[in-house]
Structure 1
Amino acid sequence: MFKTWLLYFLTLLATFIFFLFYKMWFSWFCLVILTVLPFAALIMCIISAKTFDFTTVVPLSVHNNERSSIKINITGLASQFSFCRLKVTVRDMMSGSSNVPSVLSYARGISEIPIDTDHCGSYVYKINSIRVYDMFGFFFSTHRCNKEFDVVVRPVPVIPKNRIDLSALRAECVRSASSLSSDLYDVREYRIGDSLKSVHWKASAKKDTLLVREPFEQVYSHSRFRIDLTDDREYLDKQLSEMMYTSAYCIDRELSHRIKIRSRSQKEVSFDIENRQDLEDTVTSILHMRVAGRT
Structure 2
Amino acid sequence: MIKNILIYIAVLAISFSFAVFYYAWFSNFLLIVVLCLPVLSLLCSLPFMIYSAVKGFSLYASKVIYAGDDVVINLAANNRNGLFCPLIKVLVYSKNSFCGKSKKTAFKYSGMINKPVNIPLSKIGKDCGLVETQTRWLKIYDMLGIFFIPVRFNTAAEILVIPKTANCSEEVLTGKQTIIGYKKKAGGGFSDDYEIREYRDGDNLRNVHWKLSAKNDDLMVREPSLPIYKNFKIMLMLGDNPDNNNKVLAKFAGVCKNAIKNEIPCTVCTTKNAGAYPLTPQTNIYSIYKAIYTRQNLGNADTSNAEIHSIFADSEEVAK
Q: Could you say which TM-score interval applies, normalised by the shorter chain? A: 0.7 to 0.9
- Give secondary structure in 1 for the equivalent of 2:11: helix
Q: Distance in 2 between matches of 1:3 and 1:168?
A: 66
Q: Distance in 2 between matches of 1:241 and 1:111?
A: 28
How does 1:131-142 map onto structure 2 within 5 Å? 131-142=139-150
- Give secondary structure in 2 for the equivalent of 1:136: coil
Q: Equivalent residue for 2:315?
A: none
Q: Distance in 1 between matches of 2:5 and 2:94?
A: 31
Any unmatched runs of 5+ in structure 2?
298-320
Quick one: which amino acid aligns to residue 129 of structure 1? W
**What is the aligned residue count?**
280
Q: Which sits farther off after the overlay, 121-130 or 6-15?
A: 6-15
Identity %: 19
Q: Distance in 1 between matches of 2:152 and 2:95?
A: 19
Q: Distance in 2 between matches of 1:223 and 1:31?
A: 81
Q: Equivalent residue for 1:129?
A: 137
Q: Distance in 1 between matches of 2:31 and 2:174?
A: 87
| Alignment RMSD (CA, Å) | 3.5
Which residue, out of 118, 121, 136, partners 1:114?
Answer: 121
Q: Equivalent residue for 1:35?
A: 35
Q: Equivalent residue for 1:59?
A: 62
Deviation at 1:257, TM superposition (A): 3.3
Which residue, out of 285, 292, 295, partners 1:286?
Answer: 292
Any unmatched runs of 5+ in structure 1?
none
Q: Distance in 2 between matches of 1:50 and 1:287?
A: 42
TM-score, scaled relative to structure 1: 0.77
Are residues 244 and 9 of structure 1, via their aligned partners in 2, closer, same or farther at CA, if it must alter by over 3 Å?
Answer: closer
- Give secondary structure in 2 for the equivalent of 1:237: helix
Answer yes or no: is 1:268 the counterpart of 2:290.
no
Are residues 101 and 175 of structure 1, via their aligned partners in 2, closer, same or farther at CA, if it must alter by over 3 Å?
Answer: same
Contact kept, 8 Å, 1:45 with 1:140, in 2: the verdict is: no
- Give secondary structure in 2 for the equivalent of 1:77: strand
Q: Equivalent residue for 1:155?
A: 163
Q: Distance in 2 between matches of 1:137 and 1:180?
A: 77
Are residues 127 and 77 of structure 1, via their aligned partners in 2, closer, same or farther at CA, if it must alter by over 3 Å?
Answer: same
Q: Distance in 1 between matches of 2:43 and 2:74?
A: 28
TM-score, scaled relative to structure 2: 0.71
Cα displacement string for residues 209-236 of structure 1 (whole angstroms, at most 9, x for unaligned residues) = x675573523352444222443322222
Q: Distance in 2 between matches of 1:196 and 1:73?
A: 67
Q: Distance in 1 between matches of 2:296 and 2:97?
A: 7
- Give secondary structure in 1 for the equivalent of 2:144: coil
How does 1:232-247 map onto structure 2 within 5 Å? 232-247=241-256
